[in-house]
Structure 1
Amino acid sequence: MASPAAAAASSRARRLSSIFSSSTPRAKPPKPEPAATPKAPAGEEAKPNSGPKRRKALRKILQDIFRERDPDKLVSEFIAASTASQRFRDRHRVYEVAVSRLASFGRCDAVAALIDSQKPFLEDCNEGFAVRLVRLYGRAYMPSHAAATFRGLPPKHKSVMAFNALLAAYVEAREFDALATAFEEIPASHPTVVPSVYSYNILISALCQKPNLSAALDAIALMEKCGLIPDNVSFNTLLNGFYNNGRFDDAEKVWEMMKERNVEPDTKSYNAKLRGLVAEGRIEDAVAVIERMQKDGPKPDSVSYNELIRGYCKEGRLDEAKKVYDDLVKNGCAPNRGTFQTIVPRFVEAGELDLALNCCREIFSRKCRVQCSLLQGVVTALVAASRVEEAKSIVELGRKNYYPRKSLKMPPRTGEESDVEAEPDLEDSVLYEEGCDEEEESKNA
């Protein structure tokens, strides 16, 4: 006789079949490939991982890996370090940097070699390490490998967290049909994997990318049939899906669903509406939403004001955009990357170089990471206006904040060559990565 868990999984699969419909054949995740098993050398693994000398040695290893630009050497150095040291394997960021770099080189084979080399440690590792390996394949846009890794996990690690990492990998690769298949098949074949609200929220996000958004609404009903309660993320994902597609009438249905279930809309709910209104050019309606939020709540945040700034800038109404920027600060919100990316180029276009310069200084004081091209645009405009010293100050601040020399530099004057044109950006990239790693370490201390 089937167990209650197996019966529930089978029932869930039947209900899912009525939701997931696509003319595209469903992708079947591949079988896991056997991985080479590195043998851990005797030594560090058996010794206590403490002491200044050991920490210094690990830092040197990390720095060498951050600096390495040869994909094959990067993989070999990484495997050697991870095999020898548990403390190395505890460093999440070095995994992310290494995989991201290999993926940027187009070396999927190297990504697979690096991640597969970690699989022998799965039996003795914690759940977080197993989830990390699945997630890393997602970051490299290799969802079939993420699926194979999930299926090859030890039974104790076939958890809902690992399942969610696999779903996220499919979302990043935009393989929504494969995600739907996995959502049906994995819980049905692994009764211990019971989808959570977070799992369904990933599913809803994927269904919102498909032409027929009604399936995303159906997922809410399915959640409730499975005894789960949709949360703000569930409904906000739906709101973003409908507003991004200009389906305001359907979005109103979502608001009604929230009201019926006593789910209080939060700032992100209203930001979805603001985004839709601005996209439709309905700037005055967006202003009315902000005013209502200021009066009745929830209070607008930086994203709320950014949407309004974007709307005004889109219509060429820079004075109104500047007023919203001032209101953002007055109301206790912090300008962020989105704020600066929107308004600074407009200041430059309008010749408002003092405002653009002040924004650049604000960017550095707030440690806000923006695109290098934004800062370079201000520097170039300042030089063109014969404000060379102010331009130099932005470049110098950029150096101190790890912006690459090759991307942020003083433009050459007429008849001159830039003195940094030929310099590689390797050193700056390394400094930025090491700086971030030090910041992460200080937070964990």
Structure 2
Amino acid sequence: MSSSCSSLYRRLHGLFAVKLKTDKPKTTSLKSKQQLQTIVDNFKKSSESPKFRGHHSKYKTAVRRLDNNYSAIQGIFEHQKQYPEITNEFFVSRLILLYGTAKMYEHARKLFDEMPNLKCQQTVFSFNALLESCIRAEKYDTARELFRELPEELSIKLDVVSYNTFIKALCKADSLDSAVSVMDEMENQGIKPDKVTFNTLLNAYLDSKRFSEAEDLWVLMQKKNVVADLGSYSVRLRGLVENNKVNEAIELFDEMGKKDIIPNAYCYNTMIKIYVDDRNWEEAKGWYDKMVENGRYPDNATFEMLIHFAYDKDNLDFALALCKKALDSKVTVRNATMQRVVNVLAEHSKLEEAMELVKLAKSYKRYRYILSLPSLQ
């Protein structure tokens, strides 16, 4: 390094050697009893407002903040029984789903069974919520039992959501062949499989690397006149790429445009990854450029892939530009990725650029990066 560069480096390093503070909370195993009780008390107080009780997101946030503390979650949900909404099937179904999210299936089932006493009707809507609660709690065998026994017991007529939820449970239980056979059962009951049915099964086939069967299912989807949506195309695109059918993936991407299905970041990332893995810089950047030109917003995965690829290719200007765009777009990339760019810039005597990136990262409010200029000899 030249003496002028060394002097500049020492000056900048002195200004930016102090690491930026992080606003991420310290890792703790559980919240204290006092913290939990405060959350519970505040939630119960807020629940007095009918407007508050109408916000599902408030309940979801409370479950997350309670760190899966079963007694605390049960406490705030039991508290809801004093309010008139407890006679509303939609409201009760929300609680059933959240019990599942917290891995408290037994409490979900208990609440479902209590619905008649709470003067709340039980229809296929709340049954579907209970079935989904099983999946969230990873009680797949229980989901199978529920689906086969409870509707008849309660005279509930299953709908397409019931079947799709059951298919999802079977897929998660690695019973893919059984899940596929449920489609015949649906049609025997006069219920047509829809795009959710096919998308769920397509995903499961690809997760199991059963590519040819996934293609057969795609053909069957067309035969049954089920209109593929963005989710369908995203799944098939992934399958073609994982099966090394790159040309067919490109053709499918073009087909999406002709059918006015706008590819999202996931679709573009799928294509970019092909060329990142193949170490083809021009094609990878070409797909990124196309993504931006078409008004799609790069996400975390886009930036992570291309920033790493850019500095691996010694394209430091582009790596820096991507970091700036991520910060400007309020997309958080990993601290280690950002620090690596700072390091490489400094190693190549681009100290002002490295300083600029550290300064920009410091101004980022959503996540405070812990960045510093490296100590170079």
TM over 0.5: yes
**1: distance between equivalents of 2:314 and 2:36?**
45
Secondary structure of the structure 1 residue equivalent to 2:66: helix
Q: In the alignment, what sits opposite 1:378?
A: 338
Which of 13, 22, 42 is 1:77 aligned to?
Answer: 42
Offset at residue 326 of structure 1 (A) = 0.9
**2: distance between equivalents of 1:112 and 1:197?**
31
Aligned-residue CA RMSD (Å): 2.9
The residue identity in structure 2 corresponding to 1:114 is I
Which of 282, 303, 309 is 1:340 aligned to?
Answer: 303
**2: distance between equivalents of 1:291 and 1:317?**
21
Higher relative contact order (CA 8 A, sep 6+): 2
Q: In the alignment, what sits opposite 1:227?
A: 190
Q: 1:135 to 1:265 in 2, by over 3 A?
A: same
| Alignment check: 8 A CA contact 2:343 2:373 kept | no
Give yes or no for the alignment of 1:265 onto 2:228. Answer: yes
Offset at residue 299 of structure 1 (A) = 5.0
Which of 158, 163, 174 is 2:122 aligned to?
Answer: 158
The residue identity in structure 2 corresponding to 1:85 is S
Q: TM-score, normalised by structure 1?
A: 0.67
| Alignment check: 8 A CA contact 1:170 1:176 kept | yes
Offset at residue 133 of structure 1 (A) = 0.9
Q: In the alignment, what sits opposite 1:393?
A: 360
* Percentage of matched positions with identical amino acids: 32
Offset at residue 296 of structure 1 (A) = 6.2
Any unmatched runs of 5+ in structure 2?
Answer: 1-32
- The 5 A counterparts of 1:324-363 are 324-363=287-326
Q: In the alignment, what sits opposite 1:321?
A: 284
Q: In the alignment, what sits opposite 1:434?
A: none
| Alignment check: 8 A CA contact 1:302 1:333 kept | yes
| Alignment check: 8 A CA contact 2:99 2:108 kept | yes
Which of 207, 213, 222 is 1:244 aligned to?
Answer: 207
Q: 1:218 to 1:367 in 2, by over 3 A?
A: same
Q: In the alignment, what sits opposite 2:372?
A: 411
**2: distance between equivalents of 1:160 and 1:395?**
52
Offset at residue 186 of structure 1 (A) = 2.4
Q: In the alignment, what sits opposite 1:116?
A: 78
Which of 124, 131, 135 is 1:171 aligned to?
Answer: 135
- The 5 A counterparts of 1:1-40 are none
Give yes or no for the alignment of 1:200 onto 2:163. Answer: yes
- The 5 A counterparts of 1:421-432 are none
Q: In the alignment, what sits opposite 1:95?
A: 59
Offset at residue 99 of structure 1 (A) = 0.8
Secondary structure of the structure 2 residue equivalent to 1:70: helix
- Could you tell which deviates more after superposition, 342-351 or 180-189? 342-351
| Alignment check: 8 A CA contact 1:141 1:172 kept | yes
The residue identity in structure 2 corresponding to 1:165 is A
Offset at residue 325 of structure 1 (A) = 0.9
Offset at residue 136 of structure 1 (A) = 1.4
Q: 1:124 to 1:251 in 2, by over 3 A?
A: closer
Offset at residue 294 of structure 1 (A) = 4.0
| Alignment check: 8 A CA contact 1:205 1:237 kept | yes
Q: 1:124 to 1:246 in 2, by over 3 A?
A: closer
